[in-house]
Structure 1
Amino acid sequence: MNRYLINLSYIGTQFRGIQKSQLKGSVIEDPHTVEGALEIALKKLHPINDFKIKISSRTDAGVHALHNAIHVDLERHNGQLYSEDTITRQLNRSFKSQALPVRILSTRLVPKSFSARLHAKSRTYIYRLGVLKPQFCDKPDAHPFNRFLPIEENDRCYFIAHPHFDIEKLKRVASIFVGYHDFRTFMAISKGNPKQLEPSHTLRSIQSITVERGTCMTLSFNRDLVEHFYDYWDIRIKGRSFLYKQVRRMVGAWIAVAEGRITERDAYEMLTVPSSHSWCEQSQVVPAYALYLCQVEYDPADLTIPLDELPRPTSTKQTSITTN
């Protein structure tokens, strides 16, 4: 049995999330989740073991990933290793044939003790904003169903229109969230986990938060028009782990401050008085479709296979198979 780290990216629009639905005794294939699509593709490698996919970072329905990771144990019928390139190629071929928006970035043989989730040093998310410029906000065509929106950005960016949106306020309030805090106020309770009535551990450390000018993802034909109407902003958040919907709730609170619906003091109290009762109702959870998991980082030492686990080919033929 050998363990593989599989790095992947996907567009989350058509998926219910990365994780399969946990139905008792269910063995039904689930192509509507990223995990389910991976499972179907991995079965085409014909491993002889009943494998279980272990996910580094769970993403909700609609959330995208430029880089996520899973690990899985696979055993071939002849006892030889699967070539890392073969796994990457075969999975991508399977996703292509099913027209699924999933792409394997790389596959790597890792130690049998490696965990894609537990060994992750950090996870970086970006939330993309498209802000209508103030001079257009008071016009009749500023309404969401009247104003111009680039079709290429549909379900890729959160577009907002507010005449007094203040990006400097957003930057300022976001900065106080860096560091080690109790983020209980910003945690949602998962409907799929009824036992999770009261979180037992809500302390998390955010390593960095930056708010930078973003760019539109449109064709050149549309770009001038898009940049005429909108300013783009990328909110980048890096930490080792996050609570359920924590990023989207934090960003929602920061936008509420930038639009003047709540004050910076309100946001500060939401952070420093951790409780579900501290959540300001004038804030809102921002949509999933503008959130991207951009990077999962690992220590190279954790990916290095110890000498006693290195494959020992028994023939020249096997050597050519196991060497990548």
Structure 2
Amino acid sequence: MHRYLLNISYIGTTFRGIQKTVNKAEQPRLDTQSIQGCLELALRVFHPVNEIQTVLSSRVHTIFSTDAGVHALHSTVHVDLERPNGQPYDTTTLTGVLNRTLDKQRLPIRVLSSQLVADTFHCRYHATGRTYLYRFAVNKHPPSEEDNFRNKAYEAFVPVEEIDRCYFLQSPSFDIDRVRAASQLFVGVHDFRTFMSISRQKNLSRDHPMFTVRKIDKISIRPGGAVAVAPNAALAAATYNYWDIEIKAKSFLYKQVRRIVGALIALGSGRIDERCIYQMLTIPSKNSWDHRVLLAPACGLYLCRVHYRNN
């Protein structure tokens, strides 16, 4: 038996989430609505002797707590495979065959690389950190508040290539300098209870008083860019200011990144002020959430990198 680390990327729009669902009351079946299920289906072409069970680098959730629509530029899974002759699979062949199989099924999943790792390696427990990227774009010439009320915002140009890849704002005003300054309030160790959505998963560790304490290592906000193609690229650049928010930490709570981004966007749009963010951070409670803050849509969120000691 040999263990392999698969470095993968995917567009999550058409999937329910990354984790497969397992109903113990039913016969085992492949869940092709999840990234994990599709990978396990593709791995069947190698006909290993053992049962295929992939392990995700992200925290395990149930169907109700899996973020649908989130993308990954780099994520990882590990899997044990036993070849009939006992020899390891060639990792270059493993990568190529998996990509060919996924491509035949027209699945937006790509295996970036495969590597043989020690039997003791665990892609989740050995991860030293994770970096998330959130992409959003703000209209340079937004409609007025009155026009927004009249649904004029929906007449604004949005490049079709960016649908479900970026969050487009038609805010009457947006202060990115204010957002940059306030983002540093989140850096460091905090109790992020206010910024955690409650999943329906029964998780005993969630009741531990330290469960919602996390350390944000870094938040950076920099100009982004359109991924549209000509002629939409020029029009997108003329219409929108693109921004990338990168957040790095060892681990995150459920929907923590989308809640942080939602709070920063609400600040930049003038719906809340810095005091609201300070209160949500310093009075950690689900009751402290300011309902003027909207959860940032999943379409703009990308798992950018899973970090290990050797990368």
Secondary structure of the structure 2 residue equivalent to 1:260:
coil
* Residue in structure 1 matched with residue 12 of structure 2 by the alignment: 12
Measure, in 2, the Cα distance between the counterparts of 1:228 and 1:298: 39
Residue 305 of structure 2: which of 295, 300, 312 is its match? 295
> How far has the Cα of 1:300 moved from its partner?
2.3
Unaligned runs of 5+ in 1: 302-324
| RMSD after superposition | 1.7
CA distance change for structure 1 residues 136 and 250 in 2, over 3 Å: closer, same or farther? closer
Residue 154 (str. 1) matches residue 163 (str. 2) = yes
Residue 130 of structure 2: which of 123, 127, 130 is its match? 123
Secondary structure of the structure 1 residue equivalent to 2:171:
coil
Q: Who wins on radius of gyration, i.e. which is larger?
A: 1
> How far has the Cα of 1:196 moved from its partner?
6.2
Measure, in 2, the Cα distance between the counterparts of 1:197 and 1:286: 26
Measure, in 2, the Cα distance between the counterparts of 1:36 and 1:172: 41
* Residue in structure 1 matched with residue 281 of structure 2 by the alignment: 271
Measure, in 2, the Cα distance between the counterparts of 1:26 and 1:159: 43
Secondary structure of the structure 1 residue equivalent to 2:303:
strand
Secondary structure of the structure 1 residue equivalent to 2:20:
coil
Measure, in 2, the Cα distance between the counterparts of 1:71 and 1:197: 24
CA distance change for structure 1 residues 112 and 175 in 2, over 3 Å: closer, same or farther? same
> How far has the Cα of 1:35 moved from its partner?
0.2
CA distance change for structure 1 residues 28 and 218 in 2, over 3 Å: closer, same or farther? same
> How far has the Cα of 1:41 moved from its partner?
0.6
Secondary structure of the structure 1 residue equivalent to 2:76:
strand
Measure, in 2, the Cα distance between the counterparts of 1:140 and 1:272: 37
> Where do 4+ consecutive residues of structure 1 move more than 3 Å?
139-142, 194-199
Measure, in 2, the Cα distance between the counterparts of 1:253 and 1:36: 33
Unaligned runs of 5+ in 2: 60-65
* Residue in structure 2 matched with residue 167 of structure 1 by the alignment: 176
Deviates more, 1:50-59 or 1:86-95: 50-59
Deviates more, 1:22-31 or 1:209-218: 22-31
Residue 251 of structure 2: which of 229, 241, 244 is its match? 241
* Residue in structure 2 matched with residue 2 of structure 1 by the alignment: 2
Secondary structure of the structure 2 residue equivalent to 1:277:
helix
Residues 189 and 197, structure 1, Cα contact 8 Å, conserved in 2: no
CA distance change for structure 1 residues 97 and 247 in 2, over 3 Å: closer, same or farther? same
Secondary structure of the structure 2 residue equivalent to 1:267:
helix
> How far has the Cα of 1:188 moved from its partner?
0.9
Residues 136 and 167, structure 2, Cα contact 8 Å, conserved in 1: yes
* Residue in structure 1 matched with residue 272 of structure 2 by the alignment: 262
Residues 53 and 72, structure 1, Cα contact 8 Å, conserved in 2: yes
Measure, in 1, the Cα distance between the counterparts of 2:206 and 2:130: 24
* Residue in structure 2 matched with residue 305 of structure 1 by the alignment: none
Q: Number of paired residues?
A: 299
> How far has the Cα of 1:158 moved from its partner?
0.3
Measure, in 1, the Cα distance between the counterparts of 2:188 and 2:8: 29
Residue 261 of structure 2: which of 251, 270, 290 is its match? 251
* Residue in structure 2 matched with residue 136 of structure 1 by the alignment: 142
CA distance change for structure 1 residues 215 and 204 in 2, over 3 Å: closer, same or farther? same
> How far has the Cα of 1:195 moved from its partner?
4.6
Residues 147 and 153, structure 2, Cα contact 8 Å, conserved in 1: no
**Percent of residue pairs bearing the same amino acid type:** 49
Q: What amino acid maps onto 1:3 in structure 2?
A: R
* Residue in structure 1 matched with residue 62 of structure 2 by the alignment: none
Measure, in 2, the Cα distance between the counterparts of 1:16 and 1:226: 29
Q: What amino acid maps onto 2:3 in structure 1?
A: R
* Residue in structure 1 matched with residue 97 of structure 2 by the alignment: 90
Q: What amino acid maps onto 1:279 in structure 2?
A: W
What TM-score results when the alignment is normalised by the length of structure 1? 0.88
Q: What amino acid maps onto 1:103 in structure 2?
A: R
Measure, in 1, the Cα distance between the counterparts of 2:171 and 2:207: 35
1:58-113 residue CA offsets vs partner (Å, 9 max, x unmatched)? 56210000000001111011111111112111110110000000000000011111
